[in-house]
Amino acid sequence: MRAGRALLAPAVCLYLIMFGVALGADRGSSGMAQLTPVAFSDLPGWSGERQEEALSAFALSCARLRAPVYAAAATGKKSNSLQAWTRICTQALSPDALLSGAGARRFFETNFSLYRVTLPGNARGFLTGYYEPEVEGSLERSAAFPVPLYRRPDDLVTLKPSQAGHGLEPGLAAARRVKGGFEAYPTRAEIEAGALAGRGLELVYLRDPIEAFFIHIQGSARVRLKDGEVMRLGFAAKNGHPYSSIGKVLIERGALSAAEMNTERLRQWLAAHPDEAGEVMATNRSFIFFRAITVPDPTLGPIGAAGVQLTPQRSLAVDPAFHSFATPIWIDAELPDANGRTGPFRRLMIAQDTGSAITGAARGDIFFGTGAAASARAGRIRHEGDFLVLLPKGMPLPNWAAGGG
């Protein structure tokens, strides 16, 4: 769950986000990406895929929608689309749905049509990876654990479009409520210099500021406490300042080249330059606040923007202006493993998350799981790939793919 992932939506809004009733009418519509029909039988790797794993992840998305949500949304103009998704989700949640092998494969082939996302000039899509960090921590500050992660302050307000302006700099997504209006919330540098000190907002303490920074980037974490308890943290809010890449800063300064830049190399540089690391990290003015969360299944990942727990190598972060949450998406790419060895990655993913850097019809962020191994693999992924979308049979193509505006 990358920094900037959305907070969970209310019931009807969740339907709008999951099934695309209200999102994405204009963004990237005409003259951009197209959807081209493809036969499942023509898909390399499809017959050998473990579709039952994707079906389990898909069922988690379906379970997030309850009858009142369907009833509330069914009066909208997209009721035909709603009925298609309702029918498929009813099957996915039935006692017989968790099929294996050929049965799960038939579920997707029977209920969905397959379309390739075709980009201008036959360009390929772009993939990155993310993970859930796992670190040691303490509920008390000490010399060993001096770096706090903060809970959301009560004076932090997420700005609505109607609240833009008010003397604030452009691009702010949140602000501090003050008498008579709003003011910019403290930046990362200001917070780390003590802007929130004395307010009791510290949620947990970590060993290392670099660890804390990467937890901010991912937006979630598992923190192992000294009594053996594991504290799960999820995204609560951000200070409203736009996210900026410190990797880009280091490339511009000549400290690292674009060719060698990845998460592992970035960590190494920060650790090797402790006198400069703080200043470099502070160039990203965005700052994340967290909340302690309880998850239904401790074996799965954090809760994504779609409101369901993420499944390693099955959950995909997408741009919801193009793809509704719960949409199955086939990814075909050549990706490195944790040791850097490149091989085919042909897998059915489920759209269950998003992030501020995930923009476009063929842009995806693969959730690789929890801990060091997942970090090692996720940090290597900056690769091209093909995106093929599964849409319910009989459902009209989205506006962006049908030439609508």
Q: Are strands 288-293 and 315-317 parallel, antiparallel or unpaired?
A: unpaired
- How high is the mean pLDDT of the chain? 86
What is the Cα 77 distance to its own chain's centre?
28
For the cut 60, the answer to whether the pLDDT of residue 197 exceeds it is yes
The CA distance from 38 to 49, in Å, is 17
Q: Can you tell me the mean pLDDT for 230-243?
A: 93
Summarize the confidence of residues 200-224 as an average pLDDT: 96
Average pLDDT over residues 82-94: 87
Q: Does residue 327 contact residue 319 with C-beta atoms inside 8 Å?
A: no
List beta partners, residue 202: 150
- Count the helices and strands in the chain (H runs, E runs): 12, 17
CB contact at 8 A, 302 and 295: yes
3 state DSSP class of 147: strand
Per-residue pLDDT band for 10 (boundaries 50, 70, 90) equals very low
Per-residue pLDDT of 100-156, as tens digits, reads: 778 899 999 999 999 999 999 889 999 999 999 999 999 999 999 999 999 999 999
Residue whose entry in the numeric block shows the structure tokens 């951009």? 32
pLDDT of 95 higher than 80: no
- Of 156, 213, 195, 205, residue with least CA distance to 7: 156
Check pLDDT > 90 for residue 72.
no
Whole-number Cα distances in Å, 366 to 64, 125, 134: 21, 13, 18
- Tell me the per-residue pLDDT of 18-42, one tens digit each, with 9 for 90 and over: 444 333 333 333 348 999 999 999 9
pLDDT of residue 62: 92
Task: Output DSSP code: residue 145.
Answer: S
User: Which of the two residues, 382 and 160, has the higher pLDDT score?
Assistant: 382
Give the pLDDT confidence of 280-331 residue by residue, as tens digits: 999 999 999 999 999 889 899 999 999 999 999 999 999 999 999 999 999 9
358: region left, alpha or beta (phi > 0 left; psi from -120 to 50 alpha): beta
